[in-house]
């Protein structure tokens, strides 16, 4: 039985959902893509953009660049939050609003969590992730 989190979202002990996409743009869907791990499939476009859900306290998202998706393609993964929201990398320093996180390193992984409405914090990052404004 799931436990209700303080934010009203439910935490579950079940395995996190894996979402694999081939399109160049994927917009996460509310109530469907909660606590999701994102990755691109082989044959994806060279640049895959994941448009995040609004940053609501308790919401989580992870992204990984698998070896199979990137061999010979130079696949780049981009995480784009909603307009006006802020992001931080492992340094914990929040960037100005309208920033995105990008990586093209095979095996790179990032885990984001929202602890304050409108702000995505990096909980864990493996590999090189670059934060830039758009």
Q: What is the pLDDT along the chain (134 residues), one digit of tens a residue?
A: 444 444 444 443 333 445 455 456 778 878 777 777 777 666 666 677 888 999 999 999 888 887 655 555 567 888 899 999 999 887 767 777 888 998 888 888 999 999 999 999 999 999 989 888 87
The residue ranges of every structural domain in the chain are 24-76+98-104
Give the full edge-to-edge strand order of the sheet including 119-126: 17-21, 36-40, 60-64, 109-116, 119-126, 86-87
Question: pTM of the entire structure?
Answer: 0.74
Predicted confidence at residue 74, as pLDDT, reads: 60
Quote the radius of gyration of the chain (alpha carbons, Å): 14
Predicted confidence at residue 55, as pLDDT, reads: 93
């Amino acid at each position: 039985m799931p436990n209700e989190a303080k934010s009203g979202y439910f935490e579950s002990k079940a395995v996190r959902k894996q979402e694999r996409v081939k399109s160049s743009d994927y917009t996460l869907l509310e109530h469907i893509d909660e606590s999701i791990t994102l990755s691109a499939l082989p044959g994806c476009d060279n640049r895959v953009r994941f448009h995040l859900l609004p940053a609501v306290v308790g919401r989580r998202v992870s992204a990984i660049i698998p070896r199979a998706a990137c061999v010979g393609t130079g696949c780049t993964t981009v995480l784009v939050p909603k307009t006006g929201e802020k992001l931080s990398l492992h340094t914990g320093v929040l960037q100005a609003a309208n920033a995105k996180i990008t990586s093209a390193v095979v095996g790179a992984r990032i885990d984001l969590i929202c602890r304050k409405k409108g702000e995505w914090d990096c909980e864990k990052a493996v590999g090189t992730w670059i934060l830039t404004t758009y």
